[in-house]
Structure 1
């Protein structure tokens, strides 16, 4: 795997959803590095990518309440265990579960395995609330997929939680997850 600065020069074979991410980042003047790779839809697969990008790829979970009326995108360190009860208490939403791939596609234009903060650019009606573990905000950079799981990006944390979220009209709610019941 190689590390590149910015978008691919040849967009042949790239999905529209990926190209739209590069278009938006470029229009906002956000610098990023990129690596291309085989399908990386598990945290284990992301560990090798972490080494190339020299950044921790976030675990991104797409969640909903029992009634399927509230939807959440949770960004957390990949090595931290996720405990539903711990998060539920902090956001005041009981019975969180994983949202269906249909909702993921409808709101974020993302398929399972490629969930990323970049998908919020497709959430025009602000149906998805972004939750971020405080440890993600401590790093200088964040790693994420550009709405596909065959490329990964390294972007300054300040740019993601500043310029990018401002442009896509979302805010982040910081949570503290320790992985305990």
Structure 2
């Protein structure tokens, strides 16, 4: 694969793993609010992704449900960051995950070949059997089974930390 994986490369990688997904094209969506307005009938958990950095330049990708409220002031203790976290820069986001702001996605770790980003999944998000993520671009949404998303992350060398980030209960 090239330095930055394309959406087609991602889908081909998933296919090679035997992971079946469904992708729907739509106008570019930059925020959760925009995606809620244009969602249509996509079932499953919809994600909000936080690309964060701590004071020692450790990077974290925190994926929660779109409605989740995350206490950024306390999050560092939960995820094992060194001091409080802030949002990573657009440059670091492109360098590490190969995506632009507005297209942050759990699938971005396919580009983190040096394993510099720690993946954190909110336990309540995993209560959904199907999870919706951008396929490296914000003009499409890819539906993937929860267990297949976990397998994808592991196949890229990113064993996710599953934590109660939003304070919600998993609804398994």
Q: Report the TM-score when normalising by structure 2.
A: 0.89
5 Å matches for 1:30-109?
Answer: 30-67=19-56, 69-93=57-81, 94-109=83-98
Task: Name which of 159, 165, 168 aligns with 1:171.
Answer: 159
- Runs of 4+ that moved beyond 6 A: none
RMSD: 1.8
Q: Which residue does 1:9 correspond to in 2?
A: none
5 Å matches for 1:155-166?
Answer: 155-162=144-151, 164-166=152-154
Report the CA distance shift for 1:16/1:53 in structure 2 as closer, same or farther (over 3 A): same
Please, which runs of 5 or more residues in structure 2 have no aligned partner? none
Q: Report the TM-score when normalising by structure 1.
A: 0.85
Query: What is the aligned residue count?
Result: 164
Contact 1:108 1:123 in 2 (8 A): yes
Q: 1-side partners of 2:98 and 2:29: how far apart?
A: 17
Cα deviation code 1:131-160 (max 9, x no counterpart)? 011011111011100000000011000001
Cα deviation code 1:71-121 (max 9, x no counterpart)? 000000111112112311112321100000100100111111001111101
Contact 2:61 2:120 in 1 (8 A): yes
5 Å matches for 1:104-143?
Answer: 104-143=93-132
Q: Following TM superposition, by how much is the alpha carbon of 1:33 offset from its aligned partner in structure 2, in angstroms?
A: 1.1
Please, which runs of 5 or more residues in structure 1 have no aligned partner? 1-14
Q: Which residue does 2:133 correspond to in 1?
A: 144
